[in-house]
Amino acid sequence: MRAFNRFYTRVIGVLQAGMHDLPYSLTEGRVLYEVAHAGSLETGELRSRLDLDAGYLSRILTRFDGDGLIIRERSAADARKHLVRLTPAGREAFEALDRASTDDITRLLAGLPEDGRERLLDAMRAIRDVLDPPAGPRTTLIRPPRDGDLSWVVHRHGVLYAREYGWGRDFEQLVARVVADFDPACDALWIAEVDGRPAGCVFYIRKDGTTGQLRLLLVEPSARGLGLGRRLVEECLRHARADGRERVVLWTRDCLTSARRVYEAAGFRLDSQEKGSENGIEVTEQMWSVDL
């Protein structure tokens, strides 16, 4: 992390005396940004947003005041508080800084291929999501498959089940065979998205003339608790009814407790179980079914 921080601060130039060849430091640029976007901002709120020492912020505002960039005035609602807003010169300074920042980013991205830009932006979103998870409601979607989704299913099953249960490459190869046998002419697949990114999946397989099979239910750890597993299973059962099936079966293992709760809530009942092994780890194989 420290190596990345050293690299990235050099790339975006925050260690220079002035950002984007303008006479403002990173902190001064952030002060201009916050005031410009708020229109008028109380100094205590400004200090809280930027987590700045009161004395440091006061020195920045004194410099801006002397340069004619801001106006400081008492709040009409509370005379103990002071408000800060930009003057026309301050607005011009902010816009120059904003244009320079946009130009620098444009030059940085211009030399990258399209897939490189997508990888860069995805990585930035991932870092932010992990270190500062969204506080508001998350956007969820259950959709049909798109190009690239099949390989995503195999990859995420291999990674997650190895990490969480110690199952190895043989299990990943089993998933790959299921995916390879997927026939869009008679089978179906749904992908769950959270905030525009894949976060889960389930397959419906037409097993015989009266029976459908639910396979490869998965929900990413970061998306659990949002009800996606329930929605994926419900989608599978609705499709099975529309496909004229009388029954849906599934194969699972007893250690997958969260999935088992979803199956039970959807009406599935345990038919049989037996001992098995995966990557040298003892497991209990289970067959479940529900009549439609």
More confident residue, 4 or 269: 269
Tokens of 141: 């979607």
Domain ranges of the chain: 2-111, 140-291
Q: Give the distance between the most distant pair of CA atoms in the chain.
A: 83
Measured CA to CA, the distance from residue 260 to residue 240 in angstroms comes to: 19
Q: Which residues pair with 73 in a beta bridge?
A: 83
* Topology adopted by domain 2-111: Arc Repressor Mutant, subunit A (1.10.10)
* Topology adopted by domain 140-291: Aminopeptidase (3.40.630)
Percentage of the chain exceeding pLDDT 70: 97
Report the SS3 class of residue 74: strand
Indicate if the pLDDT at residue 79 is higher than 90: no
pTM over 0.75: no
Cα 282–chain centre separation: 34
Q: Could you tell me if 227 and 233 are in contact, meaning their C-beta atoms sit under 8 angstroms apart?
A: no
Q: Do domains 2-111 and 140-291 have the same CATH topology?
A: no
Q: Which residues, other chains included, contact 175 with Cβ-Cβ below 8 Å and sequence gap of 6+?
A: 153, 154, 157, 158, 216
Q: Could you tell me if 162 and 168 are in contact, meaning their C-beta atoms sit under 8 angstroms apart?
A: yes
In this prediction, residue 133 carries a pLDDT of 79
